[in-house]
Amino acid sequence: MVTKAHSTTYKGILSEEDRELEQATRQARLHAWTSLVSWLRDGEGIFHISGKAGSGKSTLIKFLLDHDQTRKELERCPNNDQLLLARFFFWRAGGKLQRSLEGLYRAILFEILTQIPHLVRDVFPDAYNAFSDSGSGVVIDEPYFRPRHLEKGMERLISKSPYPGYRICLVIDGLDEYGEDGNDSLQHELLVEQLLAWVARGGIKISA
């Protein structure tokens, strides 16, 4: 009888713990979703999604990007500003551009300038002038878009923010996979400092 009573009591404790854990999990998920929606609508700065390696951060970010509700919330910009969305996923196992700042710059600049092409004149003035002088239909030479030009172009894009009538949202995933081996803490610190500098001007927010 004593053994049976103890067994039942122990089972009851576990069940109660399971219920409390389930409730706490639901509350945590609700809080996370509420925070995300608030940031998507009118938040500023960086919304950081953290988790252990292999916990599914990239899968979650891709799911959110593909979800209609995410786009709807993002498009609720203050003052009816137009949303400009650009994304980049660092991937250590990929090619050089997939784990470098050059790749990040290329992806963001391409996506943003595709949406607002009139900014090309300000972001890449040399390339724009060369294209204008040579006539339409001429392919711009690669020298205009080498790493140092991309970095300068990114600086110009950020320095002119905020843009009247526009809001920029950057989604950057895999920060821990940036760099040759993904383990250079100094590289990662410098990258984070750069992202913080980007959002400091206003008009730009980043999910990373």
pLDDT tens per residue, range 89-141: 998 888 889 989 999 999 999 999 999 999 999 999 888 887 776 665 555 56
Q: 27 pLDDT band (50/70/90 cuts)?
A: confident
| Pairwise CA distance, residues 193 & 184, whole Å | 15
pLDDT at 176 over 90: no
How do the domains of the chain map onto residue ranges?
Answer: 1-42, 44-207
pLDDT at 160 over 60: yes
Asked if 85 and 172 touch (Cβ cutoff 8 Å), the reply is: no
pLDDT score at 84: 92
Can you state the percent helix, strand and coil of the chain, rounding each to 5? 65, 10, 25
Nearest alpha carbon to residue 170 among 203, 137, 133: 203
Q: What percent of the chain shows pLDDT beyond 90?
A: 31
Question: Does residue 36 or residue 184 have the better pLDDT?
Answer: 36
CA separation, residue 15 to residues 18, 21, 159 (Å): 5, 10, 56
Q: Compute the half-sphere exposure of residue 13: CA atoms within 13 Å on the CB side of its CA.
A: 6
Instruction: Give dist(CA 80, CA 104) in Å, integer.
Output: 28
Q: Are 85 and 169 in contact (CB under 8 A)?
A: yes
In Å, the largest CA–CA distance within the chain is 96
SS3 82: strand
Lowest-confidence region among 2-6, 123-127, 149-153: 2-6
**At residue 70, does pLDDT exceed 90?**
no
Q: Mean pLDDT score of the chain, rounded to an integer? A: 81
